[in-house]
C-alpha cells in the first residue's frame, strides 16, 4: 500500500479530500472538489508529492470515482460499513475517518479493481441479494411498477445512458443522437446533475427522457431506508430544479441491486423501477466493436439497452454509438425513450410534460 492515504467523502456539494500519512498526520490541508472535477481530482492525486500518489479510500455509498480512478492507475480501496462509524443521513463517512481507517487497518479494506468494478469482493452477496429479490421484482413487473423491456411486437428500442451527466461524453452522445434524430433516456446521478446543470438542460431540451439513478451511486443494500429515499428525493429535486419540468418518474437502481430489503425500502415510493434486457457491459471497456456487436446481436423489438455516459472513460461507448444507431435503424427499429416504449398500445407515448 502507498505511504499516504486519501479519504474521499461525498456531500451534497461535492467531494472532500483528506490525506493522512502513516502516523495519522495531515499531509495537506483538506480540499473540496465539485462533482464535475473528477478529472482534475485524479490529476492532483497522481501528481501528489512528486508522483507518490496516496491510496484512495471510498465508502460503499460512492460509486462514481473508483472506475475513473482505477483506469487512471490509482490504488483504490473500499471501506465497507462494518468497518466504519454510522453515516450522516445524506453523505458518506467523513474523509478523515476513511483515511484513518485505511491507515490503522489497511488489511480490512477491499482493493477495488477495474475488472471487478465497484463491488469487487462483494459479488456473491450482490448476486444472492438480487436472486432473493426476484419474486418481488416479478410481482412489481406484473403490477406495472417495474419495467425491463417493452412489447415484442412493436418495432421500437430504447437506448439508455447511466451515471451522467459528464463534462466530456454527454455532449458527444447528444451530438450523435441528434445527427440521427434518435431519442434516448438518461439516468442521471444527482451529484453530477448539481455540478453540470447546463448539460441536463440541453439533454431535456433535445427531447430525451431523464431518469433518476440516485445521488452518489451507492450500493443500495448498505443504506438505511431513510438514506435510500433521501438519495432519490434529492436527485429528483435537483433534476426538476434544473429543467423546470416535473421530476423524473423512473428510477434505475445502481448495479441493479434490488434485494428484498431495498425493494421493501422502496415500497410506496412513487417511481417505476427501470431495468434493461440488453447489457453492453461497456463499463468494462471491452472495445467499441464488442459494445456495438452486443447490442446488434441481442436487441430485439421492445429492448432496453444499458450503456454509460458518465463516471468513467466512456470513449468506447461514444465510438460504438453510430454503428449501434445505424444498425438498429437499418432493421426498421425506431429509437425512442423508455417512456414511449412503455406506453400502452394505441398511444403515442406520454405527453411532453411527462418526459
Residues that are catalytic? 162, 308
* Window contacting Zn ion (CB under 5 A); options: 17-25, 97-105, 157-165, 170-178: 157-165
Task: Give 16 or 66: the residue with its C-beta nearer to Zn ion.
Answer: 66
Shortest distance (Å) from residue 308 CB to Zn ion: 7
Cα–Cα separations (whole angstroms), residue 339 to 169, 211, 232, 250, 349: 23, 10, 19, 9, 6
- C-alpha 191/C-alpha 214 separation (Å) is 9
CB proximity list for 125: less than 8 A, separation 6 or greater = 221
Query: With contact defined as beta carbons under 8 Å apart, do 211 and 200 qualify?
Result: no
Segment interacting with Zn ion, rule: CB under 5 A, options 105-113, 164-172, 221-229, 247-255: 247-255
Q: Which three cell numbers stand for residue 120?
A: 469487487
Shortest distance, position 217 Cβ to Zn ion, whole Å:
6
Instruction: Kindly state whether residue 59 participates in binding Zn ion, applying the rule CB under 5 A.
Output: no
- C-beta of 162 vs 230, nearer to Zn ion: 162
Binding to Zn ion in span 248-287, by CB under 5 A: 254
Smallest gap, in angstroms, from Cβ of residue 23 to Zn ion? 37
Binding region for Zn ion (CB under 5 A) out of 146-154, 160-168, 223-231, 256-264: 160-168
162 binds Zn ion (CB under 5 A): yes
Cβ atoms 162, 309 nearer than 8 A: yes
Please name the residues in contact with 74: beta carbons below 8 A apart, sequence gap of 6 or more.
42, 45, 46, 53, 56
Q: Which residue number, 254 or 302, has a Cβ lying nearer to Zn ion? A: 254
Q: Judged by CB under 5 A, which of 16, 59, 163, 209 binds Zn ion? A: 163
Closer CB to Zn ion, 150 or 254, in the complex: 254
Nine-digit cell at 12? 451534497
For residue 349, CA distances in Å to 140, 156, 205, 249, 272 come to: 21, 12, 17, 14, 15
* Positions that interact with Zn ion (CB under 5 A): 162-163, 254
Amino acid at each position: 500500500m502507498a505511504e499516504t492515504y486519501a479519504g474521499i467523502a461525498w456531500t451534497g456539494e461535492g467531494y472532500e479530500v483528506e490525506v493522512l500519512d502513516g502516523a495519522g498526520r495531515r499531509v495537506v490541508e483538506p480540499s473540496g472538489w465539485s462533482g464535475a472535477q473528477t478529472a482534475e481530482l485524479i490529476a492532483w492525486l497522481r501528481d501528489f508529492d512528486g508522483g507518490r500518489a496516496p491510496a484512495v479510500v471510498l465508502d460503499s455509498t460512492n460509486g462514481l470515482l473508483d472506475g475513473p480512478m482505477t483506469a487512471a492507475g490509482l490504488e483504490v480501496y473500499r471501506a465497507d460499513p462494518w468497518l466504519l462509524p454510522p453515516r450522516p443521513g445524506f453523505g458518506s463517512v467523513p474523509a478523515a475517518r476513511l483515511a484513518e481507517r485505511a491507515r490503522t487497518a489497511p488489511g480490512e479494506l477491499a482493493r477495488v479493481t477495474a475488472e471487478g468494478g465497484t463491488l469487487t469482493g462483494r459479488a456473491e452477496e450482490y448476486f444472492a441479494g438480487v436472486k432473493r429479490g426476484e419474486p418481488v421484482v416479478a410481482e412489481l413487473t406484473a403490477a406495472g411498477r417495474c419495467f425491463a423491456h417493452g412489447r415484442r411486437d412493436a418495432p421500437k428500442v430504447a437506448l439508455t445512458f447511466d451515471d451522467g451527466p459528464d463534462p466530456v461524453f454527454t455532449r458527444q452522445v447528444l451530438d450523435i443522437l441528434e445527427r440521427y434524430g434518435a431519442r434516448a433516456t438518461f439516468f442521471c446521478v444527482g451529484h453530477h446533475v448539481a455540478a453540470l446543470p447546463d448539460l441536463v438542460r440541453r439533454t431535456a431540451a433535445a427531447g430525451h427522457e431523464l431518469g433518476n439513478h440516485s445521488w452518489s451511486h451507492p450500493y443500495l443494500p448498505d443504506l438505511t431506508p431513510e438514506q435510500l429515499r433521501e438519495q432519490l428525493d434529492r436527485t429528483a429535486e435537483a433534476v426538476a430544479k434544473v429543467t423546470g419540468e416535473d421530476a423524473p418518474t423512473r428510477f434505475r437502481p445502481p448495479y441493479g441491486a434490488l434485494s428484498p430489503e431495498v425493494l421493501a425500502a422502496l415500497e410506496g415510493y412513487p417511481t417505476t423501477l427501470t431495468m434493461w434486457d440488453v447489457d453492453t457491459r461497456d463499463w468494462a471497456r471491452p472495445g467499441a466493436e464488442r459494445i456495438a456487436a452486443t447490442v446488434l446481436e441481442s436487441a430485439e423489438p421492445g429492448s432496453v439497452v444499458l450503456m454509460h455516459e458518465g463516471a468513467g472513460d466512456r470513449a468506447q461507448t461514444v465510438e460504438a454509438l453510430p454503428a449501434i444507431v445505424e444498425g438498429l435503424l437499418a432493421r426498421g427499429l425506431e429509437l425512442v425513450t423508455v417512456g414511449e416504449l412503455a406506453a400502452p398500445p394505441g398511444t403515442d407515448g406520454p405527453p411532453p410534460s411527462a418526459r
